[in-house]
């Protein structure tokens, strides 16, 4: 059995879930695909990172040594 505080939290959670707008999975997938296609040119994994701005490049040795 649920104690009264537990029931209150469940009821509040159900009220919150009732207000959430839902969409069909097919619509969400289409929107996600469209977003990915629009932003593919900005994706470093797809287009690469210019050598000059790559923060993960191998460190160079000291030029003075």
- Report if residue 53 sits inside a domain: no
- How many domains are contained in the chain? 1
| Whole-angstrom distance, CA of residue 25 vs CA of residue 32 | 10
- Report if residue 35 sits inside a domain: yes
Residue-number span of the structural domain to which 15 is assigned = 6-42
- Report if residue 60 sits inside a domain: no
| Whole-angstrom distance, CA of residue 40 vs CA of residue 47 | 8
- Report if residue 64 sits inside a domain: no
pLDDT tens profile 16-54? 999 999 999 999 999 999 999 999 998 888 888 777 776
**pTM above 0.75?**
no
pLDDT category, 56, cuts 50, 70, 90? Answer: confident
- Report if residue 38 sits inside a domain: yes
């Amino acid at each position: 059995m649920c104690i009264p505080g537990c029931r209150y939290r469940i009821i509040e959670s159900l009220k919150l879930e009732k207000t959430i707008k839902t969409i069909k999975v097919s619509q969400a997938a289409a929107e996600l695909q469209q977003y990915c296609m629009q932003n593919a040119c900005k994706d470093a994994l797809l287009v690469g990172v210019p050598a000059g701005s790559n923060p993960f490049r191998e460190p160079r040795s000291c030029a003075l040594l």
